Structure 1
Amino acid sequence: MTCTMPIIITGGAQRLGLACAKALLADGFDVLVTYRATKPSLALLEELGARCMYADFSSFEGVESFIRHIKQDYSALRGIIHNASEWDSEAISPDPRQLMEKMWQVHVFAPYRMNLAFEALLYAGFECLGKADIIHMTDYVAEKGSDKHIAYASSKAGLANLTYSFAKRFAPKVKVNSIAPSLLMFHPEDDADYREKALNKSLLHQAPGEKEGVLAVQYVLTNSYMTGRTLSLDGGRHLV
């Protein structure tokens, strides 16, 4: 069992999770990244000092396996960033039951089960460092809903609600907060028409990039007086 106290970032091999991992490594944190598919970024993360661990949170067995490995290898945790996500929609999923179960498995059950399983490790991290955090990466649609991603939106709302319950359960030692982005960055395949429509959904008309998500994570980790709250990164979209 190692004496390091990592921050776990689930789904940390790409996009915002990857950016957060690199930033926290640069800030001097021990970082453990989970991944489900091998990517070139994993080699870079390991070079920077991260530990990369395969984990599949789409099944009960996958979650339990990950929990066992963490408990075997660590006696304390600095924090958990629940970033792993699926983006399936009703349009591409022929089975509503399967879609809903998948969204809630990844976005709600996996964080719920891990938070409970790692309670003692988080308390140990607090006793050693004076800080311990859980961050739920939710979504703007948890507040507004989505007619094209109904199951996804409902599961992100479920994750947002977990923030309140775990903040109560773990106080005053472990802070539990959410970060709810809307559009931060585009995918390379997004065409000009889609980009224009997406930008017009917010007051600020911009896709600011991963840096805004990273800054939000850094703020939550360094703040000492916020728990059970959500940082919204939506460019004023709620007022449009």
Structure 2
Amino acid sequence: MIHDVPIIITGGAQRLGLACAKALVEDGHQVVITYRRNKPSIVELEERGVHCIRADFSSQSGVDEFIAQIQQRYNALRGIIHNASDWQSEAEDIDPSELMERMWYVHVFAPYRMNLAFEALLSAGSVRKGKADIIHMTDYVAEKGSGKHIAYAASKAGLANLTCSFAKRYAPLVNVNSIAPSLLMFNPEDDEEYRQQALNKSLLHQEPGEQEGVLAVKYILENRYMTGRTLSLDGGRHLV
């Protein structure tokens, strides 16, 4: 049993999860990340002292295996950032029932199961560190819906609702909040037409980058008087 009090970041090997892992290590936190596929970033993170665990949250067995590893290794947690995500859509050649099941497992069941399983570890972390946090990475579409990613949007809405329920369950020892990004960064394969259309959806017409998400995470981790709330990172998209 290791006596560190880490912050877990699911899906921490790329994009926003990776940026958060690096930033939190630089701030002196012990960090654990999960990853689904091996990436060059894993070597870099391990060199920085990050505990990297391969995990697949698209099935109950994958979730349970990860929980067992954490419970065997740690006796307290400073927080969990539920960042792992899947972006499949109805336009792909996937059976609708399989698509919804996968979205629900990754975005709802895995956070739900982990939050319950780690209650004692989070409570212990709160006592030892003065505060513990659960952060759910939801999405702008949880509120507005999506005609192209229906199952994805529904599952992110489920995750957003978990924020309220777990905030009630775990107060006052554990704060539970959400971050709901819209566009933060493009993928390299996104063409110019798509990029312009996406930029025009918000008032600020920006690709702000992952650091805006990192700043939101740091704010929640430092804030002591907010729970059951959502920080919206959408550039004013809701007003367009």
Q: TM-score, normalised by structure 1?
A: 0.99
What is the alpha-carbon distance in structure 1 between the residues aligned to residue 128 and residue 47 of structure 2?
27
User: Secondary structure of 2:231's match?
Assistant: strand
Secondary structure at the counterpart of residue 190 of structure 1: coil
Aligned to 2:158: 158
Question: Which digits, 9 at most, give the CA deviation of each residue in 1:57-116, with x for residues without a partner?
Answer: 010000000111100000000000000000000000431100000000000000000000
Identity of paired residues, percent? 75
CA distance in 2, matches of 1:32, 1:174: 19
Q: Give the drift of 1:43.
A: 0.6
**Whole-angstrom CA distance in 2 between matches of 1:28 and 1:155:** 33
Whether 2:230 is the aligned partner of 1:230: answer yes
After TM superposition, where is structure 1 displaced by more than 2 Å over at least 4 residues in a row? none
Structure 1 residue matching 2:8: 3-state secondary structure:
strand
* Whole-Å separation in 2 of the counterparts to 1:72 and 1:211: 33
Q: Once the 2 structures are TM-superposed, how far is the Cα of residue 49 of structure 1 from its aligned partner? A: 1.4
Q: Work out whether residues 93 and 99 of structure 1, in 8 Å CA contact, stay in contact via their aligned partners in 2.
A: no
- Partner SS state of residue 32, structure 2: strand
Output the CA distance in 2 between the equivalents of 1:99 and 1:165.
25
Q: Distance in 1 between matches of 2:160 and 2:210?
A: 21
Residue correspondence of structure 1 range 143-182 to structure 2 within 5 A: 143-182=143-182
3-state DSSP class of the match of 1:235?
A: coil
The alpha carbon displacement at 1:165 in A equals: 0.1
- The 8 Å contact of residues 76 and 123 in structure 1, kept in 2 or not, is answered as yes
SS of 2:214's partner is helix
Residue by residue over 1:1-47, the C-alpha shift from the partner in whole angstroms, topping out at 9 and shown as x without a partner, is 00001000000000000000000000000000101100000011111
Q: Which residue does 2:183 correspond to in 1?
A: 183
* Unaligned stretches of 5+ residues in structure 2: none
Which amino acid letter does the alignment assign opposite residue 183 of structure 1?
Answer: L
Contact map agreement 1:33 1:51 (CA 8 A) in 2: yes
Distance in 2, matches of 1:130 and 1:70, equals: 21
Residue identity in the other structure for 2:201: K
Q: Is the 8 A contact 1:9 1:17 kept in 2?
A: yes
**What is the CA–CA distance in structure 1 between the aligned matches of 2:155 and 2:112, rounded to whole Å?**
12
1:199-214 to 2 correspondences below 5 Å: 199-214=199-214
Counterpart Cα distance in 1 of 2:181 and 2:93 = 24
Q: For 1:189 and 1:88, how far apart are their aligned partners in 2?
A: 16
Over aligned residue pairs, what C-alpha RMSD do you find?
Answer: 0.5
Determine the C-alpha separation between the residues in 2 that align with 1:37 and 1:53. 10
State TM-score, norm by structure 2: 0.99
> 2:62 and 2:7 mapped to 1: Cα distance?
19
**2: CA distance between counterparts of 1:135 and 1:93?**
32
How many equivalent residue pairs?
A: 240
C-alpha separation between the residues in 2 aligned to 1:208 and 1:237? 13
Report the Cα offset of residue 181 of structure 1.
Answer: 0.2
Q: Is residue 135 from structure 1 mapped to residue 138 from structure 2 by the alignment?
A: no
C-alpha separation between the residues in 2 aligned to 1:93 and 1:181?
Answer: 27
Counterpart for residue 23 of structure 1: 23
SS at match of 1:186: coil
Question: What is the CA–CA distance in structure 2 between the aligned matches of 1:52 and 1:61, rounded to whole Å?
Answer: 19
